[in-house]
Structure 1
């Protein structure tokens, strides 16, 4: 079984040092470290930053499907770390792939973040997930709202409404939820979206996460860790959630009871906590969980 992950791969500049990053890139690394066969479809430049990214993918066991055109300069994001370990970003990003892989050779497709939002590449991503959904593949989605790239919440709501009909598995942070659905509490939002047969997780930072499927809701508190930074924590949660779903043959949300949802939440929160305990987007391996 192979999972296709599509979207941006970039270098996070933290305190002047480059670290591999980009939400889809981090998810692909996290999935591979959790022993799920994974292919990342991304644009990476033929430069020193590109070499960092390709080496990191290879060391984690993920495969790169390099999308044309090859960038002259690998995308980057300059991260500023707050006192609580949270990160904010300034982006230098190009996303203009000419074509996408054939989803027919995969069992699941994950999209999200800027790769699902920025034109012209977002149009090709939308076409691919419509095809994948029609084939019966599990499509997962993390909106990963970035107001530093596009400050208008209406833009992100439009992207969400474009993607959500095709997504069986959805994960977002409480910060994403506050932008997309400012009038709804996270648990109410998760329950509403899950009522459409989806599996929905909303992460709550230090308070853990809530996971809903059908009429059932589960959740988990976050383990107590010394937080170095939160870079890649949500992506580690997403990777763990997908690896759990892969082990259970991609269940629809309404196939899971509250005990299973809680098990999923605890597994995914643990992965995120480990990532918070070390610098940069460094998701755990299966042996650590």
Structure 2
């Protein structure tokens, strides 16, 4: 790909309707799904972004299409014949969210990699059968072609295969990815020893990524590249809910890498990790201050 070419990003995975049940009993509907949120974050920050996802010809699908169009995301339907997925998020008094899902993942066609500078995969689309094997093949081809790959496992134990199989898939995808981010909740599921989330971060970082990051809710985030490891504090913010916070974090990281021309890098110095982390943390703080997954625009 020519260095002068404007970078474009492909995000692959689920798009769904988030049905949010608040502590006071009220219900709201917002387009969501981790890959959709990552794509929206990147597009709102000025990156030419395509999302390959199932979006059906139904009411939820119409709402999702309108949301993507308003945010500047191009939709490449991976299988329009399936109904649009949904997820119900129940919000606790502390703003935390628990989820129930109704979705399927069986992509029948994905865009040509030649058109994109960076590919991002993750969440349910990266490990739910049968589509997970299609995603793995895409990532293998992207890696072989020298494309930058972003990966966020965003594990959901209630939907995932057995933990050993999930761990094996996550490690394989991490080894093929240049940028990996996971949450402390992901790390708790994936951990094999009492070393805690940090041991999982270092395990994934040691499998090949140029940059690996661990988010820890309202606590500081950790970013590492090779032997460099930094901690980035989270600014204080009044939390509406946490939906989409991690996706905003990841989407902002990828957007910054593309904007700065760093997506082809294989290592980062500590000050560069700090700068990337501050941008991601600031964007996520804006998202948690708003109800639903509503990532910030660049001028926010």
The verdict on a shared fold, with TM-score over 0.5 as the criterion, is yes
Structure 2: gaps spanning 5 or more residues: 1-6, 22-26
Indicate the residue corresponding to 2:24 in structure 1: none
Indicate the residue corresponding to 2:4 in structure 1: none
Distance 1:251 1:102, change over 3 A: closer
Paired positions, count: 287
CA contact (8 A) 1:77 1:89 kept: yes
Among residues 201, 214, 220, which one is paired with 1:190 in the alignment? 201
SS where residue 141 of structure 1 aligns? strand
Residue 25 of structure 1: CA displacement?
Answer: 0.4
CA contact (8 A) 1:30 1:240 kept: yes
Counterpart check, 1:243 vs 2:255: yes
Distance in 1 (CA, whole Å) between partners of 2:264 and 2:11 is 19
Residue 156 of structure 1: CA displacement?
Answer: 2.0
Distance in 2 (CA, whole Å) between partners of 1:65 and 1:130 is 20
Distance 1:127 1:197, change over 3 A: closer
CA offset digits 1:212-264 (Å, max 9, x no partner): 01110112111101101000000000011101111232356753111111111
Indicate the residue corresponding to 2:282 in structure 1: 270
CA offset digits 1:7-53 (Å, max 9, x no partner): 00000101232210000000000000011110000110111100110
Residue 151 of structure 1: CA displacement?
Answer: 6.9
Counterpart check, 1:24 vs 2:35: yes
1:21-100 map, 5 Å:
21-71=32-82, 73-100=83-110
Distance in 2 (CA, whole Å) between partners of 1:197 and 1:21 is 27
Distance 1:253 1:208, change over 3 A: farther
Compute the RMSD of aligned alpha carbons.
Answer: 1.6
Among residues 146, 159, 183, which one is paired with 1:136 in the alignment? 146
Counterpart check, 1:6 vs 2:12: yes
Structure 1: gaps spanning 5 or more residues: none
Distance in 1 (CA, whole Å) between partners of 2:211 and 2:87 is 30
Residue 136 of structure 1: CA displacement?
Answer: 0.3
CA contact (8 A) 2:119 2:150 kept: yes
CA contact (8 A) 1:49 1:74 kept: yes
SS where residue 299 of structure 2 aligns? helix
Counterpart check, 1:257 vs 2:263: no
Counterpart check, 1:206 vs 2:215: no
TM-score normalised by structure 2 residue count: 0.91
CA contact (8 A) 1:197 1:253 kept: no
